[in-house]
Structure 1
Amino acid sequence: MDFLKSAVASAIAKGSSFPYSLGDRVDNGESIWTLHNATKRDDGSPCSVFTFDIAANKSRLPLAKNAARKLRTLRHPGVVKVLDTIETDANIYIITERVAPLSWPVKRRSLSEETAKWGLYTVASTLKFINDDASSVHGSVRVSSVFTSESGEWKLGGFDVLSSMKEDDAVIYTYGSLVPDAARYTPPEVNKGGWEVIKSNPLAAVDAYGLGILVFEVFNGSFMGADQVGKTTNVPPSMHQSYRRLCTANPKLRLSPGNFVEQGKRSGGFFETPLIRLTQDIESLGLKNDAEREEFINELDELSDDFPEEFFKMKVLPELLKSVEFGGGGPKVLGAIVKIGTKLTADEYSTKLTPVIVRLFANPDRAIRVCLLDNLPLMIDNLPQRVVNDKIFPQMTSGFTDIAPAVREQTVKAVLAVIGKLSDRTINGDLLKFLARTANDEQPGIRTNTTICLGKIAKNLGQSTRSKVLIAAFSRSLRDPFVHARNAGLLALGATMEYFTPEDAAGKILPAVCPALLDKEKLIRDQANKTVDMYLGHIRKEASKMPDTTLPPPGATENVNNAARIGTSNDTSWAGWAISSFTNKVTATKGEIQTTNGHKPAVVEPVRPASVPRPAKSTPEVPLVQPKEGLHPTAPSLGRSLSDRPVTAPREEEEADDVYDAWGAMDDDDDNAGEEQTGDNFLDATATPKDTLSPASTRPTTAAFDDGGEPDFAGWLAAQAKAKAKKPLPKGLSKSSSTREIPSRPASTSRTVSSSTTKPKPTAPPKKIDTKPKDEADDDDWGAWD
């Protein structure tokens, strides 16, 4: 004490202020101490300061000095932890851990039965230590002497008259009656014979009586006087017998605090609760084997939400974190951590849990990873966006390609939890590429969940790739052999209809959905009908806004040749225009071929059907005149419409195109639907169709097919004859040299005039065409032109 006084005097001499900053005053009820919340100036850590004003309570100064001395020397987990004591001429300060009076929740009746039992167990165990191990008497057990720490644990204070029975001049004998409101809590034998009577009675008798009053106060909110002692109102029935023995009038028959604890800990006793077992086992969690740890976690799961949150935050959570990260706690421990984490504030979460969660996502243990992914919805709100996008999601991506199906499936489900914390670049880049892999997973459940996931995150996808990716993905799911995958595709199309244009709905979606109308499963047929009805309504609504026609008004000048080719406006039958066009083609051969300079060619052929070859000429052939460039537009490829032609994308959209490449075109072969494909071998929806075009259609041309003229058979036959010479027919199918076989050409190939046929080589003589009628067997070779 002298050393402490000299230290304080030295600090004051150097001009140093009080090392603690006092905050708000805390209501401490009837006490000789004034309680303040405070913080330590050095590090800002929270604490509490009990202040005794010497001038105002000089008669009780011995009580204050006794309390300061006993708190410094008596150490126990159930006793208020003292950080420092300072005595000056004016005041005595006791600096402790941050505490709050128990009288607050007791008066509000806000304590649950489990919490009350847990607290009474702690106080009774502390009194057992004081009586049995320290051979001392507390002498002032009541609600005002009990405090709660930041962890929610009950701490015993009020050591004003705590005395060792080995001391002849113990403070309790002389100053016991100076404790505020002592008469209400004093045992009946002390009221009759004074404090000296405790020497002739069991040492624990006084504290046992005070513990009985504390039990009544905790369950009833207040204690008014001796007439309430022993009443069992609101006291749990399992405690009635032991509680009455604490409060009996005969001190020799009272149940000591130690015996009270023992009776409560018996099998089926009132202290056999999950919360009390948890507090006993939490300190040794890291030393438990797998079976003991499993039992501990099962008990932890039994705890209800009304248990003290502070205890789980301050005591249980740190031990669980150490166990799961270093002690092999496993997924059950992790689940308990996440459950406790829901009660943390944002600052507490970022400080205590976020760093551990980030490290656990890098853990190779699949059970831990699956548990993390399963609990992401409970954690995601407390994780910053930068942490999720830059640290957690990159660790998650390994789950998309994990060999364990459970990990892949849980990773796909976890996308819904993290999608709101991912950047647009991550969503439309890495995420879509990984989902393209799981959309072709070998497990049908994973393919189905990927389709569901895409339907739910559609609103988060970029506008440049959303419709293309969704159409490709959902169209593929409609061809899936797994019935639930097909159903998921139909449901997803119905849920995302707002993201598709009417053109996409009519040209891409409905053609993909219509085959499902005749699906073998009634579930699919019914859902397909619903989906078709939805999209038809969407299309019809858009069609109602379109004009009746885009043709020019009747008075406008029209091209006569074009009008002749498409028929008259009076033709109302559905085949009228086709018949007129065919007639125009026949009659068009009656015209004369003009050269580039306007003069007629030397030879004019008579009119003949298109299927009859040209007759042989005695004079050399006149080369066909090269059509003027630009007179007729180049015929588009029949593999797709003009609207589907690839458009040169700006540089910033190259990444979006790469993402779409991973999903493939909507018309992928069904044979490849179940094969696993990567981003390198998926087909692009804007790429060339799978049907390979003939060489003639792939070469650059300067003239397009003209419906009003006659095809250039001569040049085409010459090219075919040259090809036939290099590739002889199979044995038994060879023909005479005078007859050349003209193979059929695919209908999709546009008929263009090769530049090589318009300018024959000057050294080669012109080819002669055999005009003899062809054999019956050659008719099939002209099928493409019929």
Structure 2
Amino acid sequence: MNFLFKSISNFQFPYTLDQSPVLSTPLWEATNGTKKADSTPVTVFTYCKQKDNAIIDALTSNAVHNAKILKLPGLVRVLDVIDSDPANIYVVTERVHPLDVEGLSIDALSLGVFQISETLNLLHGQAKVILGTLCPGTIFTNKRGEWCLFGLELCSKMADPNHLNQYSASYSELVKGSGLDIEPSAAAQVDSILLARLIKQFYQRVPSEWNTLVSGLSQGRITIPQFCTRVESTKPFNSTLISIYEELKELQIKDPQGKVVVMSDLQRQILEDASVLKNATKGFVDGLLIPEFAQCISTIISTQKTQPMSTGFASIVPFVATIFELTCTKNPISDDESTFNKYVKPLIFENFKISDRQLRFLLLVYFPSYIPRLTNNDVVERIFPPFVQGLADTDSTIRIQTLKRVPDIISMITERQLNNDLLRHLAKTQMDPNEDIRTWTILVISKLSKKLSQSSNRSGILSTAFTKSLKDPAVKPRLAALYGLEDSLDLFDVQTIANKVLTVIGPGLLDKNAQVRSKARSLFKVYLSKLENEADQIPTDHAEDVELNFQADIADDNDDLAKGFLENLRISPQPLSITPTDGNTTQNIENTADSWNDSVIDEWDAEDDWSNNSEEPSKGNAPLVTKMNSTKSKVVQSISGNKRSNTKTAFGKTLTTKVKVNKSWNDDLNDDEWDDSWAEANDTKTSSKVNAGKMKKSNTESFSSASIKKPSTTNDVFEQLADEIEEDDWGNDW
């Protein structure tokens, strides 16, 4: 039955506990856990009920009772007490951690002693109770880095210390060797004696100003309130850390504008000497200082949105600078990832949207420190779009600072953002009026060159960028271009080096600046050496070797060729003639096609033998004569048209002559710039010669043909005429 009750009770337990406790004592165990309802982090102190042990039962009952009624600053804040379980009592508190003073600075120890003294002063002055269990084992730290007290087993009223006097010795014997050790003493002086002992344990050497006071505490001659009053003016209690804590402690009672004033004072103190926060108690910076600054920034931003014309609030720039100084430096005071994700990351995202140059400059200054702590998705979606706009800012300082931060995000952005957005802005900054911006542009291109994919025409982009910078009127961009070429040696293949890169470096060899010439010369040798090494690996085919002597060919005498050409000019062509069938008449052919056509037709009309020898056509043959005359007319028209056409025409049939065009080896070189200049020169010199040649050719060409004999019939006449037309070569000439 008891097992069943425990199971039901455990099932209804509203907290989830870790498997192992963080601290165990003979009286209680401290275990971290979370609340099931809202995942609030808590620490659960479990007391075991021991009815058979009257001492433990009395101590447990006293501790639980005081935990319920004492609600003072400096004590571990109790959230809930569960005593319904017959075996255990659970005291649920805020999440706390056992005190660890290892590595704490002197200022941090002084702040801790100050907080413990203030708590004891409240217990003695306001609650009128005695703690009686003060020791390092009963001191915990909360999420705000405050030292707070737990362990109320001996807590008694100052007016009635019977419980303390009765169980002090038993308690000391029970917890001996567990970290809760105390020295039994008289009720009135127990807290003073235990505080003096605590100070001696924390300080390797007690501050000289405290020697007398600590001695009085240990002897019970000085009370806790007296000690707090006297040490208030000493140096250990006047540190910057204690001053910051006191102002933050009173921040909750101030209005929004008053909070901004207090935080402004704090940020000035921190920026003057941020080292005071080094080695502070864990949680002081992450859980107290940074959240308050973040809340202050949020208050200012919301006020500026609702009241744009309000001048009562300060700028957020100093507060953002303070947070960055605490979290985003090379050696940050706070490197807790949960704090960064909860407070700093949203602050970065929101501030990149604000069009404030001071704020943007601040974001760029700390950019290398916080960008590695962001995810790629954060950079792609939340950082890069507003970041890249800084390259187009009208202020040159913002442009150059943005340029310097580009290499930090190259590996985190997408290929599209790199090849499209970023390169487009870099192309503009390369023409910036500021010399340093142009220099940094080419340096940035050199840095991101390894990230460019070959499919995005990497070699073309780099060669164009370096060529443009080598033509820069300032020396620094030219040297930066040579540096980029040197850094990008492995990115170019030998074909690109031969066709593009060497032509890029070449002009630098004739630069006016000696430093540029020297750098270009050494770089040219490096690239040329890479080409030569590659050329040595190419296999040689000696079968393709050709023996040539161009000098001898140029000096060769062409007299024989000239004599042969002149000899051919002396040969006169035989005149062409058309011989009739009777052999009596020889007629010279005119040089032109039109005269030839007319003479042939006239001769046919003048022949008497054709009409005498032919029989008189009968009426039935009239259509034949008409057909012959019509056909004759078409033939004459076709012959006359041949001088303007590239076709051969015979008896109404058109024959098209196709001319085959052979491609020259140098047709692909026509897009060279030299081709245009050379063509212009040839056009001016040869245009008149070409026209003259055409005229001369048309005047000297003759129509060669065999003698046309008189046909015996009309059909034979036209067939023979068609054959003569087909043998005409005009179509080919034209």
TM-score, normalised with respect to structure 1:
0.65
1:629 corresponding residue in structure 2: 661
- Kindly name which structure, 1 or 2, has the bigger radius of gyration based on alpha carbons: 2
Q: Secondary structure at the match of 1:332?
A: helix
Trace 1:525-604 onto structure 2 (pairs within 5 A).
525-548=517-540, 552=544, 569-571=547-549
Q: Secondary structure at the match of 1:147?
A: strand
**Per-residue displacement from partner, 1:604-647 (whole Å, max 9, x unpaired)?**
xxxxxxxxxxxxxx999x9999974234356345554xxxxxxx
Q: Secondary structure at the match of 1:35?
A: strand
CA distance in 2, matches of 1:266, 1:518: 76
Cα pair distance change 1:206/1:512, threshold 3 Å: same
2:630 corresponding residue in structure 1: none
1:47 corresponding residue in structure 2: 42
Q: Contact (CA 8 Å) 1:33, 1:50: kept in 2 or not?
A: yes
Trace 1:402-551 onto structure 2 (pairs within 5 A).
402-464=393-455, 465-548=457-540
Q: Contact (CA 8 Å) 1:136, 1:162: kept in 2 or not?
A: yes
Q: 1:142 aligns with which of 135, 139, 144?
A: 135
Q: 2:62 aligns with which of 61, 66, 70?
A: 66
**Per-residue displacement from partner, 1:75-133 (whole Å, max 9, x unpaired)?**
3342101110112343322111122222xx35xx4444333222222111211222223
**Per-residue displacement from partner, 1:42-66 (whole Å, max 9, x unpaired)?**
2333211112222264323333233
In the TM superposition, what is the alpha-carbon distance from 1:385 to its structure 2 partner?
1.1
Q: Contact (CA 8 Å) 1:63, 1:171: kept in 2 or not?
A: no
Cα pair distance change 1:76/1:434, threshold 3 Å: farther
2:233 corresponding residue in structure 1: 266
Q: Contact (CA 8 Å) 2:368, 2:408: kept in 1 or not?
A: yes
Q: Secondary structure at the match of 1:452?
A: helix
In the TM superposition, what is the alpha-carbon distance from 1:180 to its structure 2 partner?
3.1
CA distance in 2, matches of 1:343, 1:454: 35
2:215 corresponding residue in structure 1: 244
Aligned pair count reads: 583
Q: 2:380 aligns with which of 369, 374, 389?
A: 389
Amino acid at match of 1:244: S
1:78 corresponding residue in structure 2: 74
Cα pair distance change 1:316/1:510, threshold 3 Å: same
1:562 corresponding residue in structure 2: none
Q: Secondary structure at the match of 2:57?
A: helix
Trace 1:197-208 onto structure 2 (pairs within 5 A).
198=188, 205-208=189-192
1:97 corresponding residue in structure 2: 94
1:17 corresponding residue in structure 2: 12
Matched, 1:332 2:310: no
1:724 corresponding residue in structure 2: none
TM-score, normalised with respect to structure 2:
0.69
Cα pair distance change 1:299/1:84, threshold 3 Å: farther
CA distance in 1, matches of 2:9, 2:92: 22
In the TM superposition, what is the alpha-carbon distance from 1:316 to its structure 2 partner?
2.0
2:310 corresponding residue in structure 1: none
Cα pair distance change 1:367/1:161, threshold 3 Å: same
Cα pair distance change 1:70/1:482, threshold 3 Å: farther
Cα pair distance change 1:101/1:518, threshold 3 Å: same
Q: Contact (CA 8 Å) 1:334, 1:371: kept in 2 or not?
A: no
Q: 1:87 aligns with which of 83, 88, 111?
A: 83
Q: Contact (CA 8 Å) 1:444, 1:485: kept in 2 or not?
A: yes
2:304 corresponding residue in structure 1: none
In the TM superposition, what is the alpha-carbon distance from 1:261 to its structure 2 partner?
4.3
Q: Contact (CA 8 Å) 1:416, 1:456: kept in 2 or not?
A: yes
**Per-residue displacement from partner, 1:382-430 (whole Å, max 9, x unpaired)?**
2111121122111112111111111111211221111111111211111
In the TM superposition, what is the alpha-carbon distance from 1:300 to its structure 2 partner?
5.9
CA distance in 1, matches of 2:553, 2:77: 101
2:603 corresponding residue in structure 1: none
Q: Contact (CA 8 Å) 1:413, 1:449: kept in 2 or not?
A: yes
Amino acid at match of 1:297: I
In the TM superposition, what is the alpha-carbon distance from 1:241 to its structure 2 partner?
4.3
Matched, 1:275 2:241: yes
2:292 corresponding residue in structure 1: 319
Q: Which has the higher contact order (CA 8 A, sep 6+)?
A: 1
Cα pair distance change 1:134/1:591, threshold 3 Å: farther
In the TM superposition, what is the alpha-carbon distance from 1:544 to its structure 2 partner?
1.7
CA distance in 1, matches of 2:562, 2:342: 89
Cα pair distance change 1:718/1:95, threshold 3 Å: farther
**Per-residue displacement from partner, 1:463-494 (whole Å, max 9, x unpaired)?**
13211111111111112222221111111110
Q: Secondary structure at the match of 1:179?
A: helix
CA distance in 1, matches of 2:328, 2:111: 21
Matched, 1:217 2:249: no
CA distance in 2, matches of 1:633, 1:422: 48
Amino acid at match of 1:38: G
CA distance in 2, matches of 1:371, 1:238: 43
Cα pair distance change 1:144/1:346, threshold 3 Å: closer
Cα pair distance change 1:173/1:436, threshold 3 Å: same
Q: Contact (CA 8 Å) 2:290, 2:323: kept in 1 or not?
A: no
**Per-residue displacement from partner, 1:500-538 (whole Å, max 9, x unpaired)?**
122332333233323333434343233223212211211
CA distance in 2, matches of 1:42, 1:692: 84
Cα pair distance change 1:236/1:293, threshold 3 Å: closer
CA distance in 2, matches of 1:315, 1:115: 14
In the TM superposition, what is the alpha-carbon distance from 1:348 to its structure 2 partner?
5.3
Using the aligned pairs only, state the percent identity.
Answer: 25
Q: Contact (CA 8 Å) 1:320, 1:337: kept in 2 or not?
A: no
CA distance in 2, matches of 1:169, 1:78: 22
Trace 1:679-718 onto structure 2 (pairs within 5 A).
713-715=688-690
In the TM superposition, what is the alpha-carbon distance from 1:313 to its structure 2 partner?
2.0
Cα pair distance change 1:127/1:552, threshold 3 Å: same
Cα pair distance change 1:97/1:514, threshold 3 Å: same
In the TM superposition, what is the alpha-carbon distance from 1:459 to its structure 2 partner?
1.0
Cα pair distance change 1:152/1:289, threshold 3 Å: closer
CA distance in 1, matches of 2:383, 2:369: 15
Amino acid at match of 2:29: T
Gaps in structure 2 of 5+ consecutive residues: 252-257, 301-314, 576-590, 594-642, 647-657, 695-729
The structure with the greater share of residues assigned to helix is 2
CA distance in 1, matches of 2:453, 2:61: 73
CA distance in 2, matches of 1:147, 1:393: 44
In the TM superposition, what is the alpha-carbon distance from 1:579 to its structure 2 partner?
6.5
1:357 corresponding residue in structure 2: 348
Gaps in structure 1 of 5+ consecutive residues: 1-9, 199-204, 220-232, 555-568, 594-599, 603-617, 641-688, 698-704, 720-757, 763-786
Cα pair distance change 1:633/1:121, threshold 3 Å: same
In the TM superposition, what is the alpha-carbon distance from 1:206 to its structure 2 partner?
3.0
CA distance in 2, matches of 1:589, 1:477: 61
Q: CA RMSD in A?
A: 4.4
CA distance in 1, matches of 2:191, 2:418: 67
**Per-residue displacement from partner, 1:150-192 (whole Å, max 9, x unpaired)?**
44332111122223335x476334434343349999999x74x
In the TM superposition, what is the alpha-carbon distance from 1:549 to its structure 2 partner?
6.3
Cα pair distance change 1:165/1:238, threshold 3 Å: closer
Cα pair distance change 1:473/1:308, threshold 3 Å: farther
Matched, 1:370 2:361: yes
Cα pair distance change 1:101/1:454, threshold 3 Å: same
Cα pair distance change 1:187/1:33, threshold 3 Å: closer
CA distance in 2, matches of 1:378, 1:693: 57
**Per-residue displacement from partner, 1:302-357 (whole Å, max 9, x unpaired)?**
24653345332222222222334443331522422543878545565444433332
1:307 corresponding residue in structure 2: 280
CA distance in 1, matches of 2:240, 2:563: 99
CA distance in 2, matches of 1:316, 1:718: 99
